[in-house]
Chain A
Amino acid sequence: MQSIITMDYGSGGVRTAQLIDEILLPAFGNATLNDLGDGAVLPDLGGQPVFSTDSFVVTPWKFPGGDIGKLAVCGTVNDLCMAGGKPLYLSLSLILEEGLPMDDLRTVVDSIARTAREAGVQIVTGDTKVVERGSADGLYINTAGIGVLRAPGLGRRALRPGDAVLVSGSVGCHGAAVLMARGDLPVEGDLRSDCRPLHELSAAALAAGEVHILRDPTRGGVATTLNEFVEGSGLCIDLEEEAIPVDEPVAAACDLLGLDPLYAACEGRMLAVVAPGDAEAVLGALRALPGGEGACRIGTVGTGRPGKVVLHTALGGSRILGKLTGAQLPRIC
């Protein structure tokens, strides 16, 4: 193996085979993948399939609490979980930039393998392409995933007035951690991404009570995701500003940059809207699991301001919490 990725590794020839045999198969190897067919032939799922895909272009590829590999598994696994599925199989497509250090690729591949094991999914098919230097930012990853439906009927249409809005932990950690890793924050500190697979937390929530919708608030953050729950409907969400958990380092970092943690991405948090009588049971189940210790109730579904998310502020005011517009940008003074 060479010390960097060259165009040869994407040729489909000897070098490509070497990449597969020496780096990918040792990390992911399983009966289905080892066949190296053009596609994976999967066993009967025993239920309705759930299917999702996601692409990953995060920069820098490594950040406190994760990397692009971990993110690539969590992203698709979590989408399947939020759709009410139990994730089973992933495809993995790597787009590598010429010149990428082979050690960086090994690190990412190890991270993918570790996270997939943790989330209980197998990587059963994949693809590798190499593009000229300057055509990509190190590496891009696409994963697609298949799971089996465990909880049918989740979605906006299931929401009812009075439902409790829960979050599985503090918000905005991933967005703030990536900003810090970019060197965009003039501080160093204990900011770690919340990136993690949500298979256990989502399963626990579904087992503990009547869940109406599950979503992971990724791009656009909690504010944007909650807006998507109610926009165009006759329902609103009343949020209590004081109840929304924001870690101090995240709050401070966002303050410095003029960002709002409610719009910062999470990659391992879950929003759950549940029947009012089941809120405590679901919270109890979440809090018993790693990554769910900080679960809490942040609001209630109502009808007062149809289609809107209303934030009730600490000082007694209230305001509309809109969707994210454009990208969050820093202020200048």
Chain B
Amino acid sequence: MPCEDSWLKAFRNPAGAARLVQDIRRRTQDRAPVRIMEICGTHTMAIAKAGLRSLLAPGVELISGPGCPVCVTPAGDIDAALELSARPGVTLATYGDLLRVPGSLRGDTLLRRRAEGADVRTVYSAADAVDLARTNPDREVVFLGVGFETTAPGTAACVLDAAGDGLDNFSVFCLLKRTEPALRALLNAPDCGVDALLCPGHVAAITGADAFAFLPREYGLPAVVGGFEAGDVLYAVWRMVCMVCDGTPALENEYVRLVTAGGNAAARAAVDRVFQPADSLWRGLGEIPDSGLVLRPAYARYDAAARYGLARGAGTEPPGCRCGQVIRGLLHPEECPLFGRLCRPEDPVGPCMVSGEGACAAAWKYRSADV
């Protein structure tokens, strides 16, 4: 392993953490809470794990937005994946996060389908799925391409790899989504009361920090691209609190050890070669123009939705499930009547409780000892 791990500790528990917390409290004590939304599931988990929400309350309200790719995938698309897993000859390759997410029917998950005989394999990267297709020529391998700008390049690379090899037993069920159109839809909604945005470091590594410049420019919102250690988040929150209190919205990049202004042009070029933007359906947010990615006509043979004639749609939300509101940041997980009662990670009602990056899963797993 790389030896730079020891410096990671400096980000995990920085010496100045107490001073930052103190200054955040001082700046926010005589005003309405500063509402900061994070839009990356890894941030959601990091915040919960470090106990930052309770540490910074009541001056700062940390809100989870649509940052969990599994959670924003509508139930109808999960239904389609479940249906696909039941087809003879099909091997479904998926990231582990999707295994436990129920479709329209409670308890109907890929994990359950696997136990019943479906060939569902967990992979850690899209490349593993292509390898599966190579080593199992008698199987039709379908990769569930879920994620934002972060996982799109890997998915594009594996389509290019498959095309280069002329593999014909591989395809992608493309559920990829784009961050910016969803953010705009969220911010344009009249019920959105967010003061600042913690921007996703992993996404920005691809898009470049500048991709978030529209937030201060068009919406007047402070925005900081942040890393994922507790110290990273704390510093980013402090900067946003400063900008909100001083009325000086700008875009800042805290995650300079990984994120540049311009991002990764090669990765974006690969995505652009394979995919094109298309309207896409989000759980909680509905249909958003140009917010998804679909395969370009040149790579249409790798499109599982077309190859298998998959029916796409919103599906049926589980009765009583408030995941849609949680995803939009309108409801804290703990405010959902099902949270921790009818809905728990071992028997989830909605995706936010089951995905490794879901707001409810984070809130449950790292529930504060003060509650």
Q: Is B260 positioned at the interface, with any CB of A under 8 Å from its CB?
A: no
Across the interface, A326 reaches (CB within 8 A) one of B50, B100, B369, namely B100
Contacts of A184 in B (CB 8 A): 124
Tell me the minimal C-beta distance from B207 to chain A in angstroms: 13
Q: Is A314 positioned at the interface, with any CB of B under 8 Å from its CB?
A: yes
Q: Evaluate contact between A317 and B1: CB separation under 8 angstroms.
A: no
Q: Evaluate contact between B55 and A314: CB separation under 8 angstroms.
A: no
Q: Is B151 positioned at the interface, with any CB of A under 8 Å from its CB?
A: yes
Q: Evaluate contact between A332 and B147: CB separation under 8 angstroms.
A: yes
Q: Evaluate contact between A316 and B55: CB separation under 8 angstroms.
A: yes
Tell me the minimal C-beta distance from B332 to chain A in angstroms: 16
Which of B5-13, B85-93, B300-308 lies at the binding interface?
B5-13
Q: Give the nearest-CB partner of A311 in chain B.
A: B369
Q: Is B116 positioned at the interface, with any CB of A under 8 Å from its CB?
A: no
Q: Evaluate contact between A317 and B368: CB separation under 8 angstroms.
A: yes
Tell me the minimal C-beta distance from B151 to chain A in angstroms: 5
Q: Evaluate contact between A330 and B1: CB separation under 8 angstroms.
A: no
Complex Cα spacing A186 to B2, Å: 12
Across the interface, B125 reaches (CB within 8 A) one of A186, A190, A322, namely A186
How many positions in chain A have a CB within 8 Å of any CB in the partner chain? 34
Q: Give the nearest-CB partner of B55 in chain A.
A: A317
Across the interface, A305 reaches (CB within 8 A) one of B42, B45, B369, namely B369
Across the interface, B5 reaches (CB within 8 A) one of A252, A310, A333, namely A252
Q: Give the nearest-CB partner of B98 in chain A.
A: A332
Task: Categorize the interface residue count of chain B.
Answer: 35 or more
Q: Evaluate contact between A317 and B97: CB separation under 8 angstroms.
A: no
Tell me the minimal C-beta distance from A180 to chain B in angstroms: 10
Complex Cα spacing A184 to B124, Å: 7
Complex Cα spacing A329 to B120, Å: 14
Contacts of A322 in B (CB 8 A): 364-365, 367
Q: Among B21, B51, B70, B202, which residue has the most Cβ atoms of chain A within 10 A?
A: B51
Contact with A along B131-158 (1 / 0, CB 8 A): 0000000000000001110110000000
Tell me the minimal C-beta distance from A247 to chain B in angstroms: 10
Q: Is B346 positioned at the interface, with any CB of A under 8 Å from its CB?
A: yes
- On whether A317 and B52 interact (CB within 8 A), knowing A252-B2, A330-B96, the answer reads yes
Q: Give B242-287 interface residues, CB cut-off 8 Å to A.
A: none
- On whether A318 and B368 interact (CB within 8 A), knowing A329-B97, A330-B95, A331-B357, the answer reads yes
Across the interface, B366 reaches (CB within 8 A) one of A251, A314, A315, A319, namely A319
Q: Is B165 positioned at the interface, with any CB of A under 8 Å from its CB?
A: no
Contacts of B45 in A (CB 8 A): 258, 331
Complex Cα spacing A314 to B234, Å: 13
- On whether A320 and B369 interact (CB within 8 A), knowing A315-B51, A330-B124, the answer reads yes
Q: Evaluate contact between B95 and A248: CB separation under 8 angstroms.
A: no
Contacts of B18 in A (CB 8 A): 316
Contacts of A331 in B (CB 8 A): 41-42, 45, 95-97, 356-357
Contacts of A326 in B (CB 8 A): 100, 345-346
Contacts of B346 in A (CB 8 A): 325-326
Q: Evaluate contact between B50 and A318: CB separation under 8 angstroms.
A: no
Contact with A along B343-370 (1 / 0, CB 8 A): 0111000000000110000001111111
Complex Cα spacing A281 to B98, Å: 48
Contacts of B99 in A (CB 8 A): 329
Q: Evaluate contact between B125 and A189: CB separation under 8 angstroms.
A: no
Complex Cα spacing A316 to B96, Å: 32
Complex Cα spacing A249 to B17, Å: 25
Complex Cα spacing A331 to B365, Å: 15
Q: Give A249-289 interface residues, CB cut-off 8 Å to B.
A: 249, 251-253, 257-258
Contacts of B100 in A (CB 8 A): 326, 329
Complex Cα spacing A251 to B6, Å: 11
Tell me the minimal C-beta distance from A326 to chain B in angstroms: 6
Contacts of B125 in A (CB 8 A): 186
Across the interface, A315 reaches (CB within 8 A) one of B1, B55, B345, namely B55
Q: Give the nearest-CB partner of B6 in chain A.
A: A248
Known: A242-B13, A330-B97. 19 other contacts (CB 8 A): A184-B124, A305-B369, A310-B369, A313-B230, A314-B50, A315-B13, A317-B50, A317-B51, A317-B52, A318-B370, A319-B49, A319-B367, A320-B367, A325-B344, A330-B95, A331-B95, A332-B69, A332-B97, A333-B202
B contacts, CB < 8 Å to A: 1-2, 5-6, 12-13, 17-18, 21, 41-42, 45, 48-52, 54-55, 69-70, 95-100, 122, 124-125, 146-148, 150-151, 202, 230, 234, 344-346, 356-357, 364-370
A contacts, CB < 8 Å to B: 184, 186-187, 189-191, 242, 248-249, 251-253, 257-258, 305, 308, 310-311, 313-320, 322, 325-326, 329-333
